[in-house]
Amino acid sequence: MWVLIGVPIVVIGFALRFNALLVVTVAGLATGLAAGLDPVDIVSAFGKAVADNRYMGLIWLTLPVIALLERNGLKEQARHLVARVHAATAGRVLMLYFVARQMTAALGLTSLGGHAQMVRPLIAPMAEAAANRKGQLAEAIQQQLRAHAAAVDNIAVFFGEDIFIAIQSILLIKGFLEQNGITVAPLQVSVWAIPTAVAALLIHGTRLALLDRRLRRGLADCASGAAR
């Protein structure tokens, strides 16, 4: 059981708000030593993990591009676009993104969306503009809309990607079931992910409809209070 020492180290380190890179490194060293590995093998494992996942660093290339687009008015243009569509509401904007994100994830295109690439510069400002066309939103409502925009991205891709047969999660599920004596084909797991994705779509669509209702009530209350 000592090989699990890395888990409490990570939990405690994050809870105390220590440097994340330092916490993960210490957890890896402790786990390796507990497993009986010598320091050279542990460092080699770290190096192999970095080399195998070096493509993950490409995400940092998108951040300067997004920053330049925001500096040149990307958010403002997104708000103006939604303001021209009179039927648009915050819930409808988020639901449209949910459907698009889930469908693209089902085709294996999980990199087309994301918090840095889509939610912050486009989806959240569009939802805020659709929620209130007459002025500035209250800080609490603004933060609530941003949280819903982030949740839409997470939920859509989480339940949509399992439909794609060549995604890592399908292979993980298949491997786990085989370890417990259950043999399934990846296609079976993919097919049975479809009802779950549809259920997630319906449930979250209901949540977004209720969000629109709450926003209408909240903005109406604010307007009546201002009139008094």
3-state secondary structure the chain: CHHHHHHHHHHHHHHCCCCHHHHHHHHHHHHHHHCCCCHHHHHHHHHHHHHHCHHHHHHHHHHHHHHHHHHCCHHHHHHHHHHCCCCCCHHHHHHHHHHHHHHHHHCCCHHHCCHHHHHHHHHHHHHHHHHCCCCCCCHHHHHHHHHHHHHHHHHHHHHHHHHCCCCHHHHHHHHHHHHCCCCCCHHHHHHHHHHHHHHHHHHHHHHHHHHHHHHHHHHHHHHHHHHC
Residue 102's pLDDT is 95
Q: Say what the pLDDT of residue 49 is.
A: 75
Report the chain (228 residues): mean pLDDT per 10 consecutive residues.
Answer: 86 90 89 87 81 63 72 78 83 95 91 85 88 74 92 94 84 83 86 93 95 81 51
Residue 227's pLDDT is what? 47
pLDDT at 195: 95
pLDDT confidence of residue 73? 77
pLDDT at res. 135: 59
